[in-house]
Structure 1
Amino acid sequence: MSDLPSPTAEPAPDTSTRALLRERDFVLYWTARFVSTLGVQIQSVALGWQVYAIARQTMSVGESAFMVSMIGLAQFLPLLALTLAAGETADRHTRKLIVAATLAIDAVSASVLLALAVSGSHALWPIFAVSVMFGASRAFLSPASSAMGPMLVPRPLLPRAIAWSSLSWQSASIAGPALGGLLLIHSPSMAFGVSFAFYLVAAAMALMIRTNTQPETQPGSRLELIKEGLAYVWNNKIVFGSISLDLFAVILGGATALLPVFAKDVLHIGPGGFGVLRAAPAVGATVVAIYLASNPIRRNAGRIMFLGVALFGAATVVFGLSKLLWLSVGALVLLGGADMLSVYVRQTLVQIVTPDAMRGRVAAVSGVFISASNELGEAESGVAAWFMGPVGAAVFGGIGALGVTGLWAWLFPDLRKADRLD
């Protein structure tokens, strides 16, 4: 027998939450994401309430709901025009500087809304103009932020980091609307002022990140790089199927744009109750995110994602039909938890299979789909509410989301059969 020592296996990498929290720059990134999302949510609550209140002075319920939905469209159009170039920018330039600069622009947007509120302006066009500027900054923020996150942690920690990043966003999405509703009771100007402060704090935290977030230089012209990113998404059917499923399901099931209408003219619960409705989806999402942060999905990822989207559609139908506050809140909690389930699977799949050099462009394409689902979903809900009323619009959207789930399960069998997230 040989006297040589027997080979030993390398120790498994530490993928615990404690290991993740030892990554200083990720903690800064996580906190900046939380603080900036607080600002976005507070601003969104105040903006929707203010536009609806101004519109109701001269318009019907349906027309006013349509005007609220146009906020999302105003933000989406510049995002659609700029996001592919923004993705290419995120793959060429220092990502933390892009994040800090766009958050500074968000602070400017909030300061303009603050000035409009303080002046007592009842004109809607300046609000929509600011929404366009906000959408333009979001076009550059989203791909840079998404691509920067994986650079801040070792690869074995990536699935847990994605779950914790989602938890940051979702927990802020609970606190933000609730805080926004409380601030609205005082005044819209108070809400916009707090958003302004949060954007500046988040920008400062982004600048404190020490990790080099400059991606490797990519050869080729800007147009060639954009085309390369589009081709990658199109040819990778798991990536394309997952983000397109989110697009169409949320476009049809985007009832959150109608929450001001339900709060004021269906459930009659005022601005405080509106804040509760806005926070309810994030409560469900946060519960699911906390669970996933400690218990990542290990098998049957594709089926779990489709289940999440189906539950999202069913919960939307229940919310639309409900006339009871507790049932409406419960449906929104379920809706948010189901959405978090599908978002977690989609984000993990996309981040793991995409090379770092292409993450900005892929994140930009994904961002177009996600923003289209959110903003066009708001527009679809507003148009449907104009013709069907808010209840009919919500029910129609939920049924549509269920139909999309079944169709995509048939069109993308590889996505349905996706198993492990590693």
Structure 2
Amino acid sequence: MRKNDPYAALRIKEFNIFLLMRFLLVFGWSMQFIVIEWQVYSLTKDPLSLGIIGLMEIIPAFTMALFAGHIVDQREKRNLLAVCIAAFSLISLGLFLLTSDKFVGDWSTKAILYSIYALVFFGGFLRSFFGPTIFSLVALIVPKKIYPNAATWSTSTWKAAAVLGALFGGFSISWIGVDNTLCVVFLLVLLSFLLVFQIKQKPILNKKIGEPIKESLKVGIRFVFQNKAVLGALTLDMIAVLFGGTVAILSVFAQDVLEVGSEGFGILNASISLGSIVTMFATTYLPISKNTGKKLLVAVFIFGLSIIGFGLSSIFWVSVLMLFISGAADGISMVIRQTILQLKTPDDMRGRVSSVNSMFVGSSNELGAFESGLAAKLIGPVAAVVFGGSMTLLTVFAIGIKNPVLRELDLTEDVEAHEIED
């Protein structure tokens, strides 16, 4: 491998298969998220219903996270991922049927809505396994010395799929309808299920197979809370996502504030992910190992400012630009966080640490969706977004002052240590 090779991870065949599989899965998941939010708001015309979608997913995702991490550390990762994808295909099939007039027939709006919520709840349970499994599998596919490069490509692929999925999801609502769009999602998930078997089974690195769950969970939680760099990065992202998330109420802005319809809705969603993917690909050429902590704080600060700008804008293309900037800043923070986790986490604890990460950051997406929906109902969508961006800025200042370990974090020595080890 050449020093600072931006394509180091892509030279590994299994990693390329992994990226393709993840792209298809996230592309479909992103489409599904967009379409379901549109459908639910169209049925109810109540922004709180969008918040309930987040609440239905966060309850099982949060309560199961630590147990899922324990299970992931005890099981073979490739087959576990295959089981997760198979279960996800059932959710996609169910949502397709619930949006098909031929299936629901004379069902009441309430029955359809509650059924959608039920499938979202099941998806939250399933998601608690997805994150730790994928995080652990990446570390078994690539050597340690290229973890930062693999983390960048993996996160970039995730965002690339999200941007295209959001864009296609928004347009496809008007092109082929909600039900046919969800049928496409189901087919994409099936294809990703076939691809995962092109990856070989991996060894289980946890030497404490059969360890009592209580002790296993305590070890994982203790590690995160004793590592100030990891804890600081997770806390910063959690608060930023919790208060700075606008995705959950973008359908409100598209339909009622900016009045741009389903196609504009797709563009708004896509602009966030497009900003992320542009900056994440850039980080493959511009490594973030030097002055890592300061770069993370600056990225989240810019994110907060752009969210405020979006909330105050009444011009569609200005709103698109603000969301693009927010996505760009968020993309940098995501790469930095994943790099910190990959380099600072022991191999036998990746499932549990990733689960704690999902509790901090992943679940805050859904809790943030509930907060945004509730705030939009109480004080209006514009005020809700401006409030969230302001809270993000306050969080950056607080963590920058209170956590000097994160502020001064530099990963250069960690990267060089892994290069020597390999």
1:67 matches 2:49: yes
1:281 matches 2:263: no
Whether the aligned pair in 2 keeps the contact of 1:96 and 1:213 (CA below 8 Å) is no
Out of 28, 37, 48, which is 1:39 matched to? 28
Out of 295, 299, 310, which is 1:319 matched to? 310
1:325-358 superposed Cα distances (whole Å, 9 cap, x missing partner): 1100000000001011111111101110111100
Q: 1 CA distance for matches of 2:187 and 2:360? A: 29
Which residue identity lines up with residue 107 of structure 1 in the other structure? S
Which residue identity lines up with residue 284 of structure 1 in the other structure? G
1:101 matches 2:83: yes
Whether the aligned pair in 2 keeps the contact of 1:86 and 1:364 (CA below 8 Å) is yes
1:191 matches 2:181: yes
Provide the residue aligned with 2:206 in structure 1: 216
What are structure 2's unaligned runs of at least 5 residues? 416-422
Which residue identity lines up with residue 100 of structure 1 in the other structure? A
Q: 2 CA distance for matches of 1:182 and 1:251? A: 28
Q: 1 CA distance for matches of 2:185 and 2:37? A: 14
SS of equivalent to 1:293 = coil
Q: 2 CA distance for matches of 1:209 and 1:87? A: 21
1:411 matches 2:393: no
Whether the aligned pair in 1 keeps the contact of 2:272 and 2:328 (CA below 8 Å) is yes
Deviation at 1:203, TM superposition (A): 1.8
Deviation at 1:148, TM superposition (A): 0.9
Residues 144, 213 of structure 1: CA spacing in aligned structure 2 closer, same or farther, 3 A cutoff? farther
Whether the aligned pair in 1 keeps the contact of 2:22 and 2:158 (CA below 8 Å) is yes
Provide the residue aligned with 1:117 in structure 2: 99
Q: 1 CA distance for matches of 2:338 and 2:289? A: 15
Provide the residue aligned with 1:50 in structure 2: 39
Larger Rg: 1
Which residue identity lines up with residue 206 of structure 1 in the other structure? V
Deviation at 1:386, TM superposition (A): 1.0
Q: 2 CA distance for matches of 1:225 and 1:87? A: 9
1:268 matches 2:298: no
Deviation at 1:217, TM superposition (A): 3.4
SS of equivalent to 2:250 = helix
Deviation at 1:99, TM superposition (A): 1.1
Provide the residue aligned with 1:30 in structure 2: 19
Whether the aligned pair in 2 keeps the contact of 1:83 and 1:367 (CA below 8 Å) is yes
Residues 208, 14 of structure 1: CA spacing in aligned structure 2 closer, same or farther, 3 A cutoff? farther
Out of 65, 74, 77, which is 2:59 matched to? 77
Q: 2 CA distance for matches of 1:44 and 1:103? A: 16
Whether the aligned pair in 2 keeps the contact of 1:181 and 1:272 (CA below 8 Å) is yes
1:361 matches 2:352: yes
Q: 1 CA distance for matches of 2:294 and 2:223? A: 24
Deviation at 1:298, TM superposition (A): 3.4
1:355-406 superposed Cα distances (whole Å, 9 cap, x missing partner): 1100110001001111222111111111111111000100000001000110
Provide the residue aligned with 1:377 in structure 2: 368
Whether the aligned pair in 2 keeps the contact of 1:93 and 1:215 (CA below 8 Å) is no
Q: 2 CA distance for matches of 1:278 and 1:290? A: 19
1:33-52 superposed Cα distances (whole Å, 9 cap, x missing partner): 11110011000010000000
Deviation at 1:13, TM superposition (A): 6.3
1:207 matches 2:197: yes
Whether the aligned pair in 2 keeps the contact of 1:251 and 1:380 (CA below 8 Å) is yes
Q: 2 CA distance for matches of 1:372 and 1:211? A: 29
1:15-69 superposed Cα distances (whole Å, 9 cap, x missing partner): 524442221111111111111100110000100000000002xxxxxxx111012
SS of equivalent to 1:91 = helix
Deviation at 1:301, TM superposition (A): 0.7
Provide the residue aligned with 2:234 in structure 1: 243
1:113-158 superposed Cα distances (whole Å, 9 cap, x missing partner): 1111113552310010000011111111110111110110111111
Runs of 4+ in 1 over 4 A off after TM superposition: 12-15
Provide the residue aligned with 2:334 in structure 1: 343
Whether the aligned pair in 1 keeps the contact of 2:303 and 2:330 (CA below 8 Å) is yes
Which residue identity lines up with residue 377 of structure 1 in the other structure? G
Provide the residue aligned with 2:389 in structure 1: 398
Moved more, 182-191 or 206-215: 206-215
1:182 matches 2:171: yes
Provide the residue aligned with 2:420 in structure 1: none
Q: 2 CA distance for matches of 1:18 and 1:343? A: 19
Which residue identity lines up with residue 342 of structure 2 in the other structure? Q
Moved more, 46-55 or 150-159: 150-159
| Aligned-CA RMSD value | 1.3
Q: 2 CA distance for matches of 1:265 and 1:154? A: 50
Residues 40, 22 of structure 1: CA spacing in aligned structure 2 closer, same or farther, 3 A cutoff? same
Q: 1 CA distance for matches of 2:51 and 2:271? A: 20
Q: 1 CA distance for matches of 2:389 and 2:4? A: 38
1:222-274 superposed Cα distances (whole Å, 9 cap, x missing partner): 21111100010011111111101111111111111110000000010111110
Whether the aligned pair in 1 keeps the contact of 2:249 and 2:372 (CA below 8 Å) is yes
Whether the aligned pair in 1 keeps the contact of 2:8 and 2:149 (CA below 8 Å) is no
Which residue identity lines up with residue 21 of structure 2 in the other structure? A
Moved more, 354-363 or 13-22: 13-22
What are structure 1's unaligned runs of at least 5 residues? 1-11, 57-63
Provide the residue aligned with 1:59 in structure 2: none
Identity of aligned residues (%): 33
What is the TM-score when the length of structure 2 is the normalising length? 0.93
Which residue identity lines up with residue 200 of structure 1 in the other structure? L
What is the TM-score when the length of structure 1 is the normalising length? 0.93
Provide the residue aligned with 1:88 in structure 2: 70
